[in-house]
Structure 1
Amino acid sequence: MEIRTIEASDQAAVLDTLTLAFATDPVTRYWWPGASDYLRWWPQVVFAQGERGFEHRGVSATERFEGVAMWLPPGVHADPARMAALDMPGTEEDEAIAGELRVEMQRHHPAQPHWYLLALGVDPRFQGRGVGSALLRHTLARIDAEGAPAYLEASNPTLIPFYERHGFKVAAVIEVRDVPPLTPMFRPGRA
């Protein structure tokens, strides 16, 4: 399976795949339970968070975008101004819950420089065919060559064994109010 690094010019294809892949994700759909809200806001949010991954060769995909991985390399972070500029609808309670979740997520992010897997998604038509594994292996080879650690938050508990097969270990479980649990997972650097 051919995996290639993706440029920002292909952002629409990347976002289309991730939108299909996360349509049943428990945490994502907690924030946007309605289909129209999900289809409007999820692509904007994932792009705002992962846009810098394009600049640093952290976004990869299969040849026809059956699957996509969006990584942020060490020292590269989402631009908070991009997220704030989205001006998403919501109540004060929604904002309070989102703030609590951000605090907990930040608390579990490794202090040392690391690669952060923001999103890994496979078009549902191609799930179960090794696409996600091929995408992970592609970037983990680069990460291992650097001897760097990797980190992610699994937003669907059914995916924890998948990530464990690729060397990630559960670091904690984040539970904030009625938000479905997020599972921070860490993969130490390999020399």
Structure 2
Amino acid sequence: MTSSLQIRRATSGDSGEAAQTLGLAFADYPFTRHTVDSRDHRDRVRSLQRLFLTEIGLRCGNVWVSDDLAAVAVWTTPSSVGLDAAFGAIADQVVDLYGDRAEIAARADAATACLRPTDPVWFLATVGVAPASQGRGLGRAVLEPGLQAAKDEGCAAYLETSSPSNVAFYQRLGFAVTGSVSLPDDGPTVWAMLRAAR
């Protein structure tokens, strides 16, 4: 990691480039490959990420970015206000972007619901590092503010991942696997991971 690396709160002006970073990071991710239409797949993934970043993360949650916007982390928290309304407002757009995989995406969401904790948690909604910038420590760095804030509030942090290599990465950050599910429709495995309140 370079000594000049700065992590800061995201602003609305960051949304285009930050969504591009997330779109690149998730273009070939197992969950998005399973749930997002293959036609114009990369554009759809980028649009989904931008929608989520602007309408959920920036409005209701917490978003941190690296100063070069090569890394982005989006959290929702127990104090996030208006999440249900925000999700409701974008639901039709999300379904349109899922395209011919919309029903598969709905079944995937239903299958993972049983994994989620009932206690209040900081939920890592999405995190990504642009492929060209991976290996610089940006993933860990952009996660640290959220992990520290959860710790300061006495809250656990929770996430889901469909990448086996991500499981090991998150374990190094103190997360433990709390469950897993194989998605229907020949989908990938999703692991639920929790970092206990400390």
Amino acid at match of 1:168: F
Q: Count residues in correspondence.
A: 187
Question: Using the alignment, how far apart are the partners of 2:127 and 2:119 within structure 1?
Answer: 22
Correspondence list, 1:50-69, <5 A: 50=53, 51-56=55-60, 58-69=62-73
Of Structure 1 and Structure 2, which has the larger fraction of its residues in strand? 2
Superposition RMSD in Å = 2.0
Correspondence list, 1:16-165, <5 A: 16-32=20-36, 34=38, 37-50=40-53, 51-56=55-60, 58-76=62-80, 77=83, 79-86=87-94, 87-88=96-97, 90-91=99-100, 94-165=101-172
Between the two proteins, what is the percent identity of the paired residues? 32
Matched, 1:189 2:193: no
Show structure 2 runs of 5+ residues with no match.
Answer: none
Question: Using the alignment, how far apart are the partners of 1:124 and 1:156 within structure 2?
Answer: 15
Distance 1:138 1:75, change over 3 A: closer
Question: Using the alignment, how far apart are the partners of 1:90 and 1:141 within structure 2?
Answer: 37
> Once superposed, which parts of structure 1, at least 4 consecutive aligned residues long, lie more than 4 Å away?
none
Partner of 1:9: 13
TM-score where L is the length of structure 1: 0.88
Contact 1:18 1:120 in 2 (8 A): yes
TM-score where L is the length of structure 2: 0.85
Show structure 1 runs of 5+ residues with no match.
Answer: none
Contact 1:68 1:121 in 2 (8 A): yes
What are the superposed Cα offsets for residues 98-139 of structure 1, whole Å, 9 maximum, x if unpaired?
Answer: 222212222211111111111111111111111101111122
